[in-house]
Chains A and B, each alone.
Chain A
Amino acid sequence: MRHVIIIGSGPAGYTAAIYAARANLEPLVIASSVEYGGELMKTTDVENFPGFPEGIMGPDLMTRMQQQAERFGAEIVYDDVVSLELDGPVKAVTLGNGDRHEAHAVIYATGSAYRKLGLPDEERLSGYGVSWCATCDGAFFRQKTVAVIGGGDSAMEEATFLTRFADKVYVIHRSESFRASAAMIDRARADEKIEFVMNSRVEHIYGAELVTGIGIVDTVTGDERTLDLQGVFVAIGADPRTHLVHGVLELTEQGTIAVDGRSSRTSVAGVFAAGDVVDPTYKQAITAAGSGTVAALDAQHYLETVHDASRTAAVASA
């Protein structure tokens, strides 16, 4: 039986692992089989993580966090959680390979999953021009025309990144103003390959075998038009990944896992949550890392209490 199992390997999961490992809790980290390292694995330069004045590549940052956790004794398993038993004093986690692990406490840091546009041809053309990862797929659009759908930081980053390859990059956003930070917007605005298409909603993705264009509607005038292009990069945000804990942990109205005040304590004793899965607002690597720290410290405190209680019970029954 473990002290604590950490589910997730983004900044929240690995930071929780660093703290838990340094507290001699020998954490087991379930890192995922193909999405380990989390969202930062799909980014390039991270320029706002403190301590890296020259910036650092997202995958490098995550490898460093992983190594830092391992240095203090965290054990990392590259598999996916398929089911959880969180009620009661002993928590159990079952993995894709069938292994079952038990622990007194669980830190849940599964992050969030990309939102889809919800268009009929999106799934069919996914991988044939529709993409959720500019850093993975951008290079296949050399001298092509592409569109980034979205108005947040990730949309700006993807658009700027795609100008390395594409001749033209549309940024299509459904409202008049961006959620993205000023620095990211300014950089995109300064790029002559980028054209902003505001107040516009994507209605269709066209293409028999590969994407050939999109149909957009002006949300103010209702006018429809078609843009001929070969790539569609969807960056309209992400939803907290809570499917494993539906009906088990209390959720907020925004769909994140509910926690008690500024702590990481969920509605189930011994289960703590951290990172984007509890954060409907900030969703930054550094806030996720901070939240991972909170979860590790809360878990540590909980384990001390459980340990004291079981010792008292043992003395009482002796």
Chain B
Amino acid sequence: MSTRDVTDATFEAEVLKNEKTIMVDFWAEWCGPCRAVSPILDAIASEHPDKIEIVKLNVDHNPETAMKYQITSIPAMKIFRGGEVVKTVIGAKPKPALEADLAEFLA
């Protein structure tokens, strides 16, 4: 299962008003580590479909949201619950390390 995209226009409805725990992967085409971590996020999402939803936001195409959340380094993965950021993970990491960072949301 591949994660879907959200945009400046859909961010409020899809992320902030989402009732589930949702992780936003802030990324860009030119970012090598973003491309590396993307399939790992896909795998985590498909292994825990009832725990967490994972979506992607292209920072080049959606600068408003990237600026609002003060993104200065990508990949930046922010977990939202009830419209609030509850956890931020920055940088591409191997799957076991990411799973450890996200443990409380995957359990």
Instruction: List the interface of chain A (C-beta within 8 A of B).
Output: 32-37, 41-42, 59, 79-80, 96-97, 126-129, 131, 133, 135-137, 139-141, 209-210, 230-231
Contact = CB atoms under 8 A, between A and B. Distances in A.
B90 A127 contact: yes
B67 to A, nearest CB: 9
B72 A129 contact: yes
Contact of B91 (A33, A96, A127): A127
16 contacts: A32-B94, A36-B36, A37-B32, A41-B33, A97-B95, A126-B91, A128-B70, A128-B73, A131-B72, A136-B31, A136-B32, A137-B74, A139-B60, A140-B71, A140-B74, A210-B72
B78 to A, nearest CB: 11
Nearest to B71: A140
Contacts of B93: 34
Given A131-B73, A140-B71, A33 B94 contact: yes
Nearest to B89: A127
Contact of A33 (B36, B60, B66, B73): B36
Interface in B68-82: 70-74, 76
A41 B72 CA distance: 19
B28 interface: yes
Given A33-B40, A34-B93, A96-B94, A136 B33 contact: yes
Contact of A35 (B31, B36, B59, B76): B36
Nearest to A231: B72
A80 to B, nearest CB: 5
A41 B32 contact: yes
Contacts of A139: 28, 30, 59-60
Given A34-B33, A35-B36, A59-B32, A136 B94 contact: no
Interface string B1-43: 0000000000000000000000000001011111011001000
B74 A141 contact: no
B33 A127 contact: no
A170 B66 CA distance: 25
Nearest to A82: B96
A169 to B, nearest CB: 16
A80 B59 CA distance: 28
A140 B31 CA distance: 12
Contacts of A128: 70, 72-73, 90
